[in-house]
Amino acid sequence: MSCVRAVRGLAPVCGFQPLTVLSRGVSFSPRQVASDASFHSVSFSESDHPRVLITGGLGQLGVGLAKLLRKQFGKYNVILSDIRKPPAHVYQSGPFIYSDILDYKNLREIVVNNRISWLIHYSVLLSAVGEANVSLARDVNITGLHNILDITAEHGLRLFIPSTIGAFGPTSPRDPTPDLCIQRPRTIYGVSKVHAELMGEYYHHRYGLDFRCLRYPGIISADSQPGRGTTDYAVQIFHDAVKAGRFVCNLRPDTRLPMMFIDDCLRATLEVLEAPPETLGMRTYNISALSFTPEELVQEIRRHLPDLQVTYEIDPVRQAIADSWPMVLDDSSARSDWGWKHNYGLPELVQTMLNFTGSDSRKARAK
């Protein structure tokens, strides 16, 4: 997902720019059509492969998903977009274009000119970052979402929007958390994701939009630097363990949260996008692989790095967020409806992460 550190009036980053007064200047809105209207989605009989646009593409997941989709559908059928200048290796790996989700006209032109049939919407402000700038998070996470919904409905696209464990709150059942239960999150990130789930399902039922959504757990990846999210300790610990042999954790050692290795996350996203509509018993699914605490993660890492030193300096903001989130996600519906199955347990995840971060550390020392 694409995250943000800009404020109004400063340079834009990660999939949007500082707000201006927007004028859509188009004739279509789902609110202007009959309630029984439906929209035609491009089928695979009309096109050998989908034409895919990924918004917020320079975030944690966009580049990896583009790589997976290009293997499946062809290099030039998957377009990454963001408002930041891409690194050379990303720019050279396949199509990349500028796209601002708050610029309705720009986004609509991209969809039309590139004959987009699938849109994957990753532009968002994450949990701790959003709490530091609620107004900006509201604009990006909600106003940007509305632009995406209107354009995808108008042009009959298949729309994937990730949700999150942050869509649940302290009154939700935590162990396990089912697909359908009370959702009263206490962060703007979580509130905006509940809004996205409900709006996507509303557009599906009222306008026939092919909306699909997975509630991601904490995603662990060696390919991107950890941000400031609540679950990012589970990425930072590998970098610090390899480079310094010590780590400071900002959550309590017994804080259990659902997690997933990025390869499983990207594969799940492709699988739900490819699933035949008739197999989808719902439009928003929990998805998970494992749940662990910082202490359990430390013990597994110490099997490989026994001298790792860990101290706990609790961040009250992040701890409060973690305490309001699920401890275990029930993803049995995804497993039964479209055959979801994870590949990485905790031992496999730790071994893979240490291999990646250890390799990167050796390369850095060799320079």
Tokens of 122: 């990753």
133 and 109 Cβ atoms separated by less than 8 Å:
no
Tell me the β-bridge partners of 286.
215
Burial of 177 (0-12, 13-18, 19+ CB in 10 A): buried
Task: Indicate if 216 belongs to the active site.
Answer: no
Written as one letter, the residue type at 343 is: N
* Structure tokens, 83: 């408002």
Bridge-based pairing of strands 290-292 and 257-261 is: antiparallel
Spacing of C-alpha 4 from chain mean position:
14
Closest CA to 286 of 199, 174, 189: 174
The tokens describing 72, both together, are 């499946």
Instruction: With H, G, I as helix, E, B as strand and everything else as coil, classify residue 119.
Output: strand
- Name the residue among 265, 198, 207 with its Cα closest to residue 235: 265
34 three-state secondary structure: coil
Query: 266-271 — which CB contacts under 8 Å span 24+ positions?
Result: 266/61, 266/64, 266/65, 266/68, 267/68, 267/343, 268/214, 268/334, 268/340, 268/342, 269/61, 269/65, 269/120, 269/160, 269/162, 269/214, 270/65, 270/68, 270/69, 270/72, 271/338, 271/339, 271/340
Q: How many Å apart are CA 226 and CA 174, to the nearest integer?
A: 25
Among candidate residues 104, 122, 189, 233, the one labeled active-site is: 189
Q: What are the φ/ψ torsions at residue 219 (nearest 5 degrees)? A: -105, 130
Q: Enumerate the active-site residues.
A: 189
